[in-house]
Amino acid sequence: MTDHDDFAAFMQGDDDTRLRRLSAGEKVECRVVQIGGDSVFVDVGARADGRIPTTQLLGADGSPRVEVGQTLEATVVDPDAPGGPLLAVAFAGGAMIDTSALELARESGTPVEGKVTAVIKGGLEVDLGGVRAFCPASQAAAGYIADLTSLVGEQLMVIVIEVTDGGRSVVVSRKQALAAERKQAAQDATRKLAAGQILEGTVSSIQKFGAFVDLGGVEGLVHISELSTSHVDEAGDVVAVGETVQVKVLDIEPPQKPDAAPRIRLSMRALQQIEPGEQAQTGEVLTGEVVRMLPHGLVVRTDKGEGMVPMRELGLAPGADHRRAFPVGSELEVTATSTAAGRVRFSASKVEEVRARQDFDAYRAKRSLDDAASATLGSLGGLLGSMDRSALPPGPKPKPKPKPKPKPKPKPKQEAKAKPAATPKPQPALEPAPTPRLATDMVAAPSASPATPSATGPSAPDAAGPGDEASTPDAPKRRRIISRRGS
C-alpha cells in the first residue's frame, strides 16, 4: 500500500467518524438545500443528501411551502435507498403504506394521509392506502364535533397510535395530527417573524387582559393596553372574534418548554399613528383628564395622547392618597417628561418649573432682539456719519416751515358802565320865617316893569307879580335894594 492509499484511507475513516449514520424510523432535523420537481433535497449530515417527495411539502395552492435554508423535521424511511436516504414528513396513502410502514409511522410519530370512508359506531372509518383504520370520535378533531358525517370523503392527516394483529387493527388520531401541524406551522411562522414587522392576522379569542391574534399557525397576544391609543375598558369594545386586524410585532420570547409555543407580543396601538403636530413634546404643558388609577400612579388623557403620572411626579405630601387627591374625571395640568418607545410619561409637580423656564427664555429672547436692534442702529449711524455727504445726491429741499399765525390779542374787558345815580326826589322848599316889616317897608315900592308879554304865550316865568315876592329866592334881596333906594 502506497503512502497515497494510506492517506486516502485515513481521510475516509475520518469522514466516516464525522458523518452521521441513519437508521429507519429515526426522527431527524434536516436543512433544505435544493427544491426539485419530484424531490426536495435536504442535508441530514450523512454522506449523501436525503430526499423528501415534493408532494409532501406542497401548500394549498400547489406550490412548495418550504424554501432553501429552512429546517424541517422528517422521518427516515429507507437510509440505503438508491439516490440517497429516503425521508418523509408524512406517509401518503399508496403503495408505500403497509404494515412495516405503519409500524414505522407509529414509532416515529410521522403523519399518515387517509380518506374518511364512513361514520361507524364511536367514530370514523379511515382508509390508509388499502389498510382499514379506526379513528375514535374524541380524536376526530381538536374540539367537539356534533355531526361526524361532515368529514366523510375528506382527505385527512392522522397519527398512527396503535397497530395490532399484524396490521388488521389500526387506530389513528386526527387530533394529534392537528396538534403536530399547529406546532410545525408555529415553528415555521416563528422562524419568519421578527420584532418590528407589521402583519395581518385574525382575532382568535378575546380575554379580559387582551386579544389573541392568529398569524397563520402561531398566535400572539395584543394586551388591552396595546389595543388603542385611548383608554380601553374591555377588549371586546375594540375587536371581535374572526375580525382581520393589522398588528405590529413587539417582541418574541422563546418557549420555556420544548412543547410550548413561543410568546409573541403584538400591538395595534403602535400602528395608530399620531400626527407630528398632535404628539406631546417634552416640556410642553397640557391639560388632561384622569382616566385610570394605578397602584403606583395614575393615567391622564390629553389632546395629544395618554400617559402615566408616577406617584413621585404628583407633588403630594408623603403618605397622601392619590386616589382622593386626583379622582377619576378630575382635570390635571401636566408636562411631558419622556416620550421614549411610544410611552408618554407626565409630571404634575414640574409644571411651574417648566412655565418659569419658558418665561425666562421668552424674556432672554426679547432682550437679545432688542440688543441686536440697538447694535444695528448704532452701526448704521456710524456708517452714515463717515460717508462723504457731498457724494450723495442732493435730497429734496426741506419745505419752509409755515410761520405760526399770531395769536389774536385778547380784547380788553369793557368796564361796566356806571349806572346813573338815582335822581333824588325834589324836596319842598322851606319858606323863611317872616321878618317884621319896618315903617319904611310899608311904603309901596314901585313895581317892576311888567314883563313884556310874549307874542306867543304868557309872560316869562321869572317875572314876578306884585304879590309874588316870596315866590322866588331872590325876592328878599330885591326888597332890600328897593328899600335902600327909597330912603
Mean pLDDT to the nearest integer, 454-460? 43
Q: In the structure, what pLDDT confidence band is assigned to residue 425 with cuts at 50, 70 and 90? A: low
- Domain ranges in the chain are 23-89, 111-184, 193-271, 279-353
Q: In the structure, what pLDDT confidence band is assigned to residue 467 with cuts at 50, 70 and 90? A: very low
Give buried/exposed letters for 353-389 (b at 16+ CB in 10 A, else e).
Answer: ebeeeeeeeeeeeeeeeeeeeeeeeeeeeeeeeeeee
What's residue 135's pLDDT?
92
Instruction: Name the architecture of domain 111-184.
Output: Beta Barrel (2.40)
Give the CATH number of domain 193-271.
2.40.50.140
Residues 6+ apart with CB under 8 A from 229: 269, 272, 274, 305, 306
Are 157 and 181 in contact by the 8 Å Cβ rule? The answer is: yes
Are 233 and 292 in contact by the 8 Å Cβ rule? The answer is: no
Please, what sign has the CA dihedral across residues 209, 211, 216, 217?
A: positive
Taking 60 as the threshold, does the pLDDT of residue 17 lie above it? no
What's residue 456's pLDDT?
43
Q: In the structure, what pLDDT confidence band is assigned to residue 379 with cuts at 50, 70 and 90? A: confident
Show the beta-strand stretches assigned E in 192-316. 198-207, 210-214, 219-223, 244-253, 263-267, 285-294, 297-302, 305-310
Taking 70 as the threshold, does the pLDDT of residue 437 lie above it? no
Whole-model pTM: value is: 0.44
Q: In terms of pLDDT, which residue wins out, 415 or 316? A: 316
CATH class of 23-89: mainly beta
Are 237 and 210 in contact by the 8 Å Cβ rule? The answer is: no
Query: What is the rounded distance in angstroms from the CA atom of residue 46 to the CA atom of residue 24?
Result: 14
Are 88 and 77 in contact by the 8 Å Cβ rule? The answer is: yes
Average model confidence (pLDDT) for the chain? 75
Query: What is the rounded distance in angstroms from the CA atom of residue 303 to the CA atom of residue 269?
Result: 16
pLDDT per residue as tens digits for the range 200-221: 889 989 998 899 998 877 888 9
Q: Please give the share of the chain, as a percent, with pLDDT higher than 90.
A: 5
Q: In the structure, what pLDDT confidence band is assigned to residue 455 with cuts at 50, 70 and 90? A: very low
Q: In terms of pLDDT, which residue wins out, 166 or 226? A: 226
Q: What nine digits make up the cell of 355?
A: 412655565
What's residue 433's pLDDT?
53
DSSP letters for 463-486: ---TT-GGGSTTHHHHHHHHHHHH
Q: Do domains 23-89 and 279-353 have the same CATH topology?
A: yes
How many angstroms separate the Cα of 412 from the Cα of each of 229, 409, 415, 416, 417? 90, 9, 9, 12, 14
Phi, psi of 408 (to 5 degrees): -65, 135
pLDDT per residue as tens digits for the range 69-122: 888 888 888 888 888 888 888 776 554 566 777 777 787 778 888 889 999 888
What's residue 357's pLDDT?
84
Mean pLDDT to the nearest integer, 306-314? 85
Mean pLDDT to the nearest integer, 366-395? 70
What's residue 348's pLDDT?
87
Q: In the structure, what pLDDT confidence band is assigned to residue 431 with cuts at 50, 70 and 90? A: low
Q: In terms of pLDDT, which residue wins out, 444 or 217? A: 217
Taking 50 as the threshold, does the pLDDT of residue 443 lie above it? no
Mean pLDDT to the nearest integer, 321-329? 87
Query: What is the rounded distance in angstroms from the CA atom of residue 280 to the CA atom of residue 375?
Result: 38
Q: Which of 3-17, 295-309, 321-335 has the lowest mean pLDDT?
A: 3-17
Could you tell me the CATH superfamily of domain 279-353? Nucleic acid-binding proteins (2.40.50.140)
What's residue 394's pLDDT?
60
**Which DSSP helix (H) or strand (E) runs through 77?**
strand 71-78
pLDDT per residue as tens digits for the range 220-265: 899 988 887 767 778 887 888 888 888 999 888 877 776 667 788 9
Show the beta-strand stretches assigned E in 327-414. 331-338, 344-347
